[in-house]
Chains A and B, each alone.
Chain A
Amino acid sequence: MMNFKGYTGNILDIDLSNNKIKTQKEKFEDLKKFIGGMGINCLLAAERLKPQLDPFSPENPIIIGTGPLVGTIMPGSSRTTGITKFPASGAIANVCGGMSFGFQLKQAGYDHLIISGRLEKPSYLMITNNQIELVEAKDLWGKDIIFTTDFMWKNYKDCGVIAIGQAGENKVYGALTLIDKTSTFGRGGLGAVMGSKNLKAIVVRGSNGIEIAYPKEFRVKYQTFIERIRNYPQRESWIELGMLRSLPVGMILNAKGEKRKARQCNDRNYLKMIKKRRFACPTCPMADKDILEIREGEFNGLINYTSSVINPFLMLTSDCLKSYSEAIKIYDLISRYGLDSLTMTSLVDIISKMVKKDELSNEDLGFEWKEDFSSFKKLIGLITYKEGIGDIIAKGWANVKQVDDNFEEEKLTVKGLDVVFEPRFLKLGTMEFEQVVNPKGAHVASGGSPTYVGAGGGLGKMKSHFDRMGIPRNAHERIFKPPKAEMFINVGRLTRYSEDWYTVLTSLGLCARAQMNRFYSLDLVTEFYNLITGFESSREELILAAERSWNLLKILNVNEGFSRKDDRFPNNWFKPLKYGENNLELYDFYGNVQITPKIANQLLDDYYDERGWDTATGIPLKSKLQELDLMKYLF
Chain B
Amino acid sequence: MIEEMSNKKINITAENCVGCRICQLTCSFLYTKTFNPSKARIKISEVYGLVPIIEFSDDCVYCGECANNCLYGALELIEGGNDEF
Contacts and interface: CB of A to CB of B under 8 A. Distances in A.
Interface in B26-85: 26, 28-29, 32-39, 45-48, 50-51, 69, 71-72
Interface stretch (A278-286, A369-377, A492-500): A278-286
Interface string A206-220: 011111100100010
A103 B34 CA distance: 14
B50 A277 contact: yes
A9 to B, nearest CB: 15
Contacts of A283: 20-22, 25
Given A180-B48, A209-B39, A215 B19 contact: no
Contacts, number: 79
A73 B48 contact: no
A230 B35 CA distance: 21
A152 to B, nearest CB: 12
Interface residues of B, number: 27
A350 to B, nearest CB: 35
B44 to A, nearest CB: 8
Interface in A471-530: none
Contacts of B32: 209
B36 A208 contact: yes
Contacts of A158: 37, 45, 47
A207 B36 contact: yes
A226 interface: yes
Interface in A244-261: none
A215 B29 contact: yes
A279 B52 CA distance: 10
A373 B18 CA distance: 33
Given A158-B45, A280-B18, A284-B20, A215 B33 contact: yes
B58 to A, nearest CB: 18
A285 B71 CA distance: 7
A283 B72 CA distance: 12
B72 to A, nearest CB: 7
A565 interface: no
Contact of B36 (A100, A209, A215): A209
Contacts of A209: 28, 32, 34-36, 38-39
Interface in A31-74: 71-73
A180 B59 CA distance: 31
Interface in A284-316: 284-285, 287, 289, 291, 303, 305
Contact of B50 (A207, A229, A291): A291
A395 interface: no
A21 to B, nearest CB: 23
Contact of B35 (A180, A212, A278, A284): A212
A278 B18 contact: yes
B42 to A, nearest CB: 13
Interface in A175-194: 180, 182
Contacts of B47: 100, 158
A208 B36 CA distance: 7
Contact of B71 (A72, A210, A230, A305): A230
B29 to A, nearest CB: 6
A281 B20 CA distance: 6
B35 A280 contact: no
Interface of A: 71-73, 100, 103, 107, 153, 157-158, 180, 182, 207-212, 215, 219, 226, 229-230, 239, 276-285, 287, 289, 291, 303, 305
The 6 closest A-B pairs by CB, nearest first: A209-B36, A209-B34, A207-B38, A280-B18, A73-B25, A287-B18
29 contacts: A71-B35, A73-B29, A103-B21, A107-B37, A153-B46, A157-B45, A158-B45, A207-B38, A209-B28, A209-B38, A209-B39, A210-B34, A210-B35, A211-B34, A215-B29, A215-B33, A219-B29, A226-B69, A226-B71, A239-B72, A277-B15, A277-B51, A279-B18, A284-B20, A285-B22, A285-B71, A287-B18, A289-B18, A305-B48
